[in-house]
Copies of this chain bind each other. A is one copy, B any other.
């Protein structure tokens, strides 16, 4: 399906104001699905259900292969396209945008191994195995397979963001998986679950492996429905895997493959991670636009002037504007850092920036929601209206992955360590 590319500004261009023609063409595909997303958003939230028609809608629009290279049949988009897409979808239905984001993170499980091969990180005999798995992921996504990415688990580790306890045990012709995956979008919706598990008996990240599990494979079940405060239409119940058999060629179990993938990620560890924050910025943008329209359209009974002109509203509008733009700024910068060629920052700098950016973006987006809430008053403080739903959806950004407070501390730790290293080098020189 080809999209008509309108000459008017596309929604995604509010974030990405320097799109190439090819990017605009892809963004036009996103634009055309927005009305359907917007129309279904309130009901999806109320029903706590991903609108089933959206899978076909996005597949038809070719968007399931948005970031898959053209040689694999995809649209050839990059992280820039993905961020613009999740931002635009976020203005219409943040839940769908979130699920779509997680689908796209699966592409990194194809792309990063290929980069690792190019960088010579794999042994010669490992390369074909790794490549075959990577190709499989990319080809399927381009062909319209929705591939949910299940990594998170509920166990907490003080030193790692995600601790993996799901276990893969060798079995005749493949592997048997057992475990439970918490948060992961498109549970019961995606065609395939991309599951990260640890090979039984291993103790380090070298033992982490990837498995492709059909949604309806025996032993796969949904966890108890998760009654989220926001992002309720993203079908993020998570799943249980009980003695689920996966054939050997549907798995990537080369030792160290996971770690080598991460080494090739330019920014955040899963690759593409910044696009999740674009979901929240899109949601905040929509809430901001809607609030301004309401406040300038509604008037005081006594003066006939727009409510937006009251001193309190002017203060809040000024603050909301500053907060929304701050979210845009951090997001655009991170996108530049992770996509520009040649790179303008070291991997360590990009990482530290991301840890802060994630928190600053999501906090600023949430602050926009709080501003909209205050400015709109009691009558708009409903569960299902755009303001109440926006507040709930944007609250989720405060906890997904990590809160701002954690991001800043982690950045501080990296920066301090880097400085200490520099210091050491300096001392060595002065001897």
Interface residues of A in 131-186 (CB under 8 A from B): 152, 154-159, 163, 182-183
Which range contains the number of A residues in contact with the other chain? 35 or more
The reply to whether the CB of A420 lies closer than 8 angstroms to some CB of chain B is yes
Rounded to whole angstroms, the CA-CA distance of A313 and B420 in the bound complex is 14
- Taken residue by residue from 401 to 422, chain A's Cβ proximity to chain B (1 for < 8 Å, 0 otherwise) reads as 0111111110111011001100
Q: Judging by beta carbons under 8 Å apart, are B377 and A412 in contact?
A: no
Copies of this chain, tallied across the complex: 4
The reply to whether the CB of A217 lies closer than 8 angstroms to some CB of chain B is no
Q: Judging by beta carbons under 8 Å apart, are A398 and B419 in contact?
A: no
- How far apart are A135's CB and chain B's nearest CB, in angstroms? 33
The reply to whether the CB of A383 lies closer than 8 angstroms to some CB of chain B is yes
- How far apart are A278's CB and chain B's nearest CB, in angstroms? 16
The reply to whether the CB of A391 lies closer than 8 angstroms to some CB of chain B is yes
Rounded to whole angstroms, the CA-CA distance of A403 and B408 in the bound complex is 18
Q: Which residues of B contact A306 (CB under 8 A)?
A: 416, 420
SS of A interface (majority): helix
Tell me whether A319 and B408 are in contact in the complex, defined as CB-CB below 8 angstroms, given that A159-B302, A163-B302, A419-B308 are known contacts: yes
The reply to whether the CB of A4 lies closer than 8 angstroms to some CB of chain B is no
The reply to whether the CB of A47 lies closer than 8 angstroms to some CB of chain B is no
The reply to whether the CB of A326 lies closer than 8 angstroms to some CB of chain B is yes
- The residue of chain B having its C-beta at the shortest distance from the C-beta of A345 within the complex is B17
Q: Judging by beta carbons under 8 Å apart, are A305 and B399 in contact?
A: no
Can you list 20 contacts pairing A with B, beta carbon distance less than 8 Å?
A154-B379, A155-B301, A156-B298, A157-B302, A158-B302, A229-B383, A296-B420, A317-B415, A318-B409, A318-B412, A319-B408, A321-B412, A325-B330, A325-B333, A326-B329, A329-B329, A374-B399, A376-B399, A381-B399, A392-B392
